[in-house]
Amino acid sequence: MLIFDHSRPGRRAWAQSPESAPAADDLPADLLRRDAPRLPEASELDVVRHYTGLSRKNFSIDTQFYPLGSCTMKYNPRACNSLAMLPQFLARHPLADAETGQGFLACMFELQEMLKAVTGMAGVSLAPMAGAQGEFAGVAMIRAYHQSRGDAARREIIVPDAAHGTNPATAIMCGYQVREIPTDRQGNVDLEALRAAVGPQTAGLMLTNPSTLGVFEASIVEIQKIVHDAGGLTYYDGANLNAILGRVRPGDMGFDVIHMNLHKTFSTPHGGGGPGAGPVGVSERLLPYLPIPLVVEERGFHRWAEEADRPQSIGRMSAFGGNMGVLLRAYVYARMLGREGMHRVADYAALNANYLAAELRRAGFDLAFPQRRASHEFIVTLKRLKETTGVSAMDFAKRLLDYGFHAPTTYFPLLVPECLLIEPTETESKATLDAFVAAMVKVKDEAESEPERVKTAPHSLPVRRLDDVRAARELDLVWKG
Amino acid sequence: MPFIPHTDQDVAEMLASIGVPSIDALFDEIPAALKCGGLDEVPVGLTELPVTRLMQSRAAQDGFWSSFLGAGAYEHHIPAAIWQIVTRGEFYSAYTPYQAEASQGTLQLLYEYQSMMASLTGLEVSNASMYDGASALAEAILMAVRASKGSVRRVLLPATVHPRYRAVARAIVANQGIELAELPYCAERGHTLPEALDGQGEPAAALVIPQPNYFGVLEPVDALTDRAHARGMLAIAVVNPTSLALLKPPGQWGAGTQPQGADICVGEGQPLGVPLASGGPYFGFMTAKQALVRQMPGRIVGRTVDMDGQPGFALTLQAREQHIRRSKATSNICTNQGLLVTAATLYLSLLGPQGLKNVALACHDRTRALVERLTAIPGVERVFGSPFFHEAVLRLPASAAEVLRALRAQGILGGLALAGDYPELADCVLVCATETKTDDDLDDYAQKLARILSRRREAPPCAYKS
């Protein structure tokens, strides 16, 4: 039932809007609306009950284990939410003077400094509103750097084939061409291919480390040297920062620019697909190009540095400076973890991932890279199961939903056939991981004994498997009544 | 350990299962030379009580202000039910709805949101939202260039569009070699003149039309839309969603009984139930004509059926997106602003067509009342002689920056000085009053402003200097 089905002409949530107001008799008639928009006419209870009901049709971290590889679905502490929503923080207008926001700006400044420290970068801007926008800012800075040196020949960004789709899409948005390089059998960047790819046309390399294959690039020092020797810059995609937080810093690995996903590593909520936050960090040589605004401190006074202070900046990413409420949540999280807590993140994320990998392997699952150490995530391939039973990774994932577990990431990275990319995060207990292994074993047994049951899953959710082809062919994107 | 549930016994059993002696051993593939030392710059951890004290004291330091700032972010009443439901864990801590069967709540809500935004803007399709209004405009510009098959890399951008939207659009599209040509505004009327398009010799892919514009002034949207279409351009509307309960929706812009309408509409969704919060997170909305749907960036939800023929919802047209198309995607965007859209959907459902119209009328009434009170003060006058909605530009008989500072000292944020972005509008402020302002609030502002200005008349600052 849609909210529109609750609608009755003349019904209203009377307490929620002004009773009435004088007509706008000063506005010209030809600029006015003639027909009312088709919004629901419902009572407050109708609305509350409808959306509470919808919420219960969702999986979420608060209700289910989410071993979703590359997404870092860890617990979102409730204090981060309640403290970011203190009424004074919510009421402050974005264009209010810095004098009215010293408490808020101090939080932003300290967050900026903490992110610098944990990533080992020379400067950080909190401006990008999501990981993909952080990537955009990062590559735009690489471009600004080369342009400032009059080096117009650098037109290519190198991207490993295991990379997230946002990497090549971002390079194109920044006006670059994309050159893909292959991954070797161990899951590392193919160094020979990289050597062959670099040259005077190379603007930079975008790299995720640990990679989306869940392994640490063993030759990272060598990779840096190859790209830097060719005059290119290196970009660290922070998608997997949780794997190394407190263990090794992108700055120490020699990266020139990085983005972080605070909705992953710093536990801000995913919110059903946003808002995120994608701060960027840079090495010394890229400092002038950071996106505005940045928080600066002058004799204890905090303010936003804008274009006048930062004339070489790549510019603004949003009208009002960024996803401040998300940044506040990350700030509270960072203060609660503290420096000891930061060191523990990667430790326990790696412990959980390696434990889960060991137990699944013991239970008869095939790891894509059994000879490698898992980082904070790892890949199971169901290729053998598919061949013997016809059950695909997709079928398997859907059946896990019936057992109350969110599916791992499926069919990404594209390099491994029938893959499940599994990331437990540090906030899950051994008991939860054991229950997940038991469910995996149960689905595998079912795949072997009654494959049809798995192929037609899920069976116990609000809907059965959906017809995606019809969704795209017979577009129904808005309710027409 | 905060947020880590492991007991010593768990750790021991897990290490034994893995077959390593310690957690350190799990990092043996990382070259030893790279391992990071202490994080001395990060303070030691706090438990919930001290961190609560810290945040409460920071919030108290910022306090509450009587604010007459608008300029793209607006103070509205937010019904209590909204954020109580938005922060339910099932919405708050859910992931992007790729696993449709486990995300029907979020997906149905997005479909309802798309339906409401399409109707509100008078267009046929909507995406599931963008980061904010400014980045939505940048994406709309890229979309218009794609729709021209990439052949026309120039878009007309009036100076009456929010200066920060223009800055964001520049930062995002300039790398792709797209030129944003500025259109001047009429100094008397404060809006773009349709004739200004005639001076544009070179072709352009689109004309951006704000309504109301940055000054609160109503643009001649019908003439601008028709003139853009006559010159082969798309019309991109940038609107305030509250205003659409009252003003003609972009889908109906144009003269005559069968107007062509704007082709793409974007705007800032913040007024729909999202707190000001120093600037974000907000959300941008984007709607368009059906013919442009495959050029749209971002998530789109469609209604379909499951294998039993029952209705259900799923992300659709994913072949446009980066995780499928990689370097050929319509955009690199891979999120919407889910939680904010949840708030907006609840807001529009609670208010309904009449409630939203009442909010729009109340805002307009409050701003008119404010303008009336302030322009009754000697020397304060309206700058533009055109109809306005919800926001207006006033010229002060003194330095705007100084007057605003004096008001701030008395607890009032009196508006935004425009001189920084519009040098020709020195001494001008953009003021806004929404339904949250009472007559007492308006009187308080007017009285304090009158006192400040009269003191300055009696003792102008230069008198001190000489």
| Interchain contact A300–B (C-beta under 8 A) | no
B413 shares a domain with B329: no
Q: Which residues of chain A are within 8 Å of residue B43 when distances are taken between CB atoms?
A: 335, 338-339
Residues 134-193 of B with CB under 8 A from A: 134-135, 162, 164-165, 167-168, 170-172, 175-177
Nearest to B301 by CA among B105, B87, B82, B94: B105
Q: Is residue B47 part of a domain?
A: no
Torsion of CA B150, B154, B157, B162, to 10 degrees: 60
- Rounded Cα gap, residues B209 and B242, in angstroms: 17
Chain B residues within 8 A of A75 when measuring between CB atoms: 3
- Who among A318, A347, A462 is closest to B23 (CB)? A347
Contact B355 A17 (CB under 8 A): yes
| B328-376 per-position pLDDT tens digit | 877 888 778 999 999 999 999 999 999 999 999 999 999 999 999 999 9
CATH 3.40.50.261, applies to A79-337 = no
Tokens 């109301």 locate to B212
A123, A281 Cβ separation under 8 angstroms: yes
Question: Domain for residue B96, yes or no?
Answer: yes
* The pLDDT of residue B325: 78
The whole-number average pLDDT for the span B171-180 is 94
Residues of B in contact with A59 (CB under 8 A): 94-95, 99, 102-103
Judging contacts by C-beta atoms under 8 Å, the chain B residues touching residue A415 are none
Interface of A with B in 448-467 (CB under 8 A): 456, 458, 461-467
Which chain A residue has its CA at the smallest distance from B120's CA? A37
Q: Is B160 helix (H, G, I), strand (E, B) or coil?
A: coil
| B104:A54 CB<8 A | yes
Residue A152 burial class via C-beta count within 10 angstroms: exposed 0-12, middle 13-18, buried 19 and up: exposed
Is there a contact between B30 and A216 if contact means CB atoms under 8 Å apart?
Answer: yes
Place of tokens 């870092």: A72
Q: In terms of domains, do B402 and B293 share one?
A: no
Q: What is the mean pLDDT of residues B398-419?
A: 97
Is A334 within 8 Å of B65 when comparing Cβ atoms? Answer: no
Instruction: For residues B166 and B209, state if they share a domain.
Output: yes
Domain match, B308 and B411 both: no
Task: Give the nearest partner residue to A16 out of B109, B132, B355, using CB atoms.
Answer: B355
Q: To the nearest whole angstrom, how far is the Cα of A371 from the nearest Cα of chain B?
A: 11
Residue B128 domain flag = yes
Q: Which amino acid is at A106?
A: A
Model confidence at B198, pLDDT cuts 50, 70, 90, reads confident
Number of domains present in the structure of chain B? 2
Can you say how many angstroms the Cα of residue B351 is from the centroid of all Cα atoms in its chain? 20
Q: Does B409 touch chain A (CB under 8 A)?
A: no
Report the Cα B215 to chain-centroid distance in Å.
16
Confirm or reject contact between B346 and chain A (CB < 8 A): yes
Q: Are A457 and A446 in contact (CB under 8 A)?
A: no
The Cα B366–Cα B361 span in angstroms is: 8
C-alpha A220/C-alpha A218 separation (Å) is: 6
pLDDT at B459 over 90: no
* Same domain as B360, residue B282: no
The domain ranges of chain A are: 79-337
Within the 117-136 window of chain A, which residues sit less than 8 Å (CB to CB) from chain B? 117-118, 120, 129-133, 135-136
Q: How far is CA B202 from CA B66, B153, B155, B193, in A?
A: 47, 11, 10, 18
Under 8 Å between Cβ of A422 and A65: no
Q: Cα distance from B189 to chain A (closest Cα, Å)?
A: 15
Q: Do both B281 and B173 map to the same domain?
A: yes
Burial environment of residue B17 by CB neighbours within 10 A (0 to 12, 13 to 18, 19 or more) = middle
Of B73, B299, B345, Cβ closest to residue A273? B299
Chain A: nearest CA to B213, how far in angstroms? 14
pLDDT of residue B466 exceeding 50, the answer is no
Residues B298 and B431 in one domain: no
Contact of A224 with chain B, judged by CB distance below 8 Å, is answered with no
**pLDDT above 80: residue B222:** yes
ipTM of the complex: 0.97
DSSP designation for A463: S
Six-digit token string for A275: 């808002």
Chain B closest-CA separation from residue A357 CA (Å): 8
Does B15 contact A351 at a Cβ distance shorter than 8 Å?
Answer: yes
Residues of chain B contacting residue A160, judged by C-beta atoms under 8 Å apart: none
Specify whether B444 is located in the same domain as B322: no
Give SS3 for A236: strand
Q: How far is A384 from chain B (nearest CA, A)?
A: 24
Residue A371 contacts B, CB cutoff 8 Å = no
**Token pair 């959300």 in the structure block, residue:** B283
Q: What CATH number is given to the structural domain containing B244?
A: 3.40.640.10
Domain end (from B292, B310, B345): B345
Residues 6+ apart with CB under 8 A from A1: A50
Domain stops at, among B329, B345, B361: B345
> CB A164: neighbour CB atoms within 10 A?
25
Indicate the length of chain B as a whole number. 466
Residues B413, B317 share a domain: no
Q: For residue B17, which residues of chain A lie inside 8 Å, CB to CB?
A: 355, 358-359, 362
Q: Are residues B229 and B97 in the same domain?
A: yes
The DSSP bridge partners found for residue B103 are: A58
> In this predicted model, what pLDDT tens digit does every residue of B149-165 receive, in sequence order?
878 999 999 999 999 99
Cβ neighbors of A150 (< 8 A, separation 6 or more) are none
What pLDDT score was predicted for residue B461?
A: 62
Of the three residues B317, B345, B373, the one that is the final residue of a domain is B345
Chain A residues with CB-CB distance to B177 below 8 A: 175
Euclidean distance between CA atoms B334 and A135, whole angstroms: 12
Helix (H, G, I), strand (E, B) or coil at A430: helix
Return d(Cα B135, Cα B280) in angstroms, integer. Answer: 13
Q: Which domain holds residue B404?
A: 66-73+352-456
The answer to whether A466 contacts B348, with C-beta atoms less than 8 Å apart, is no
pTM (predicted TM-score): 0.97
Cβ contact (<8 Å) for B120 and A37?
Answer: yes
Tell whether the model's pLDDT for residue B465 goes beyond 50.
no
For A246-300, the pLDDT digits (tens) are 999 999 999 999 999 999 999 999 999 999 999 999 999 999 999 999 999 999 9
CATH code for the domain in which residue B433 is found: 3.90.1150.10
B247 reaches A (C-beta below 8 A):
yes
Residues B99, B184 share a domain: yes
Q: Distance (Å, rounded) from C-alpha B284 to C-alpha B289?
A: 17
Q: What digits encode the pLDDT tens for the residues B93-141?
A: 999 999 999 999 999 999 999 999 999 999 999 999 999 999 999 999 9
* Residue among A90, A104, A325 at smallest CA distance from B54: A104
Report the 10 Å Cβ neighbour count for B395.
17
Q: Residue B465 contacts by C-beta under 8 Å, 6 or more apart in sequence?
A: none
- Separation between Cα atoms, residue B68 and residue B394, nearest integer Å: 13
Give chain B positions within 8 Å (CB) of A16: 77, 79, 81, 350-351, 355
SS3 per-residue string spanning chain B? CCCCCCCHHHHHHHHHHHCCCCCHHHHCCCCHHHECCCCCCCCCCCCHHHHHHHHHHHHHHHCCCEECCCCCCCCCCCCHHHHHHHCCHHHHCCCCCCCHHHEHHHHHHHHHHHHHHHHHHCCCEECCCECCHHHHHHHHHHHHHHHCCCCCCEEEEECCCCHHHHHHHHHHHHHHCCEEEEECCCCCCCCCCHHHHHHCCCCCCEEEEEECCCCCECCCHHHHHHHHHHCCCEEEEEECHHHHHCECCHHHCCCCCCCCCCCEEEEECCCCCCCCHHHCCCCEEEEECHHHHHHCCCCCEEEEEECCCCEEEEECCHHHCHHHHHHHCCCCCCCCCHHHHHHHHHHHHHHHHHHHHHHHHHHHHHHHHHHHHHHCCCCCEECCCCCECCCEEEECCCCHHHHHHHHHCCCEECCEECCCCCHHHCCEEEECCCCCCCHHHHHHHHHHHHHHHHHHHHCCHHHHHC
Q: Are strands B301-305 and B412-413 parallel, antiparallel or unpaired?
A: unpaired
pLDDT in tens, B241-297: 999 999 999 999 999 999 999 999 999 999 999 999 999 999 999 999 999 999 999
Look up residue A272 and give its two tokens. Answer: 């059903």
Two tokens, residue A276 = 């995120």
DSSP string, A288-320: GGPPBPEEEEETTEEEEE-TTT-TTS--BSSSS
Amino acid (one-letter) located at B437: K
Q: Is residue B142 part of a domain?
A: yes
Q: Give the mean model confidence (pLDDT) for residues B205-211.
A: 98
Q: Three-state DSSP class for A280?
A: strand
Can you tell me whether residue A279 is helix, strand or coil?
coil
Taking an 8 Å cut-off on Cβ atoms, the answer to whether B171 and A398 are in contact is no
Mean pLDDT throughout B419-430? 97
Cβ–Cβ of A173/B176 closer than 8 Å? yes
CB A408 within 8 A of CB A397: yes
Task: Give chain B positions within 8 Å (CB) of A334.
Answer: 42
* Helix/strand/coil for A156: strand
B195 and B218 housed in the same domain: yes
pLDDT(B460) > 80? no
Q: Which residues of chain A have pLDDT under 50?
A: none
Q: Across the interface, which of B67, B245, B323 has its CB nearest the CB of A37?
A: B245
What number is the average pLDDT over the span B298-325?
Answer: 91
Tokens linked to A105: 């700006």
Q: Is A106 on the interface with B (CB under 8 A)?
A: yes
CA angle B11, B13, B16 (to 5 degrees): 105
* Chain A, window 317-356: residues with a beta carbon less than 8 angstroms from a chain B beta carbon: 317-326, 332, 334-344, 346-348, 350-352, 354-355
- H or E, element range at B81: helix B80-86
Is there a contact between A221 and A255 (Cβ–Cβ < 8 Å)?
Answer: no
Beta-carbon neighbour count of residue A479 at 10 Å? 18
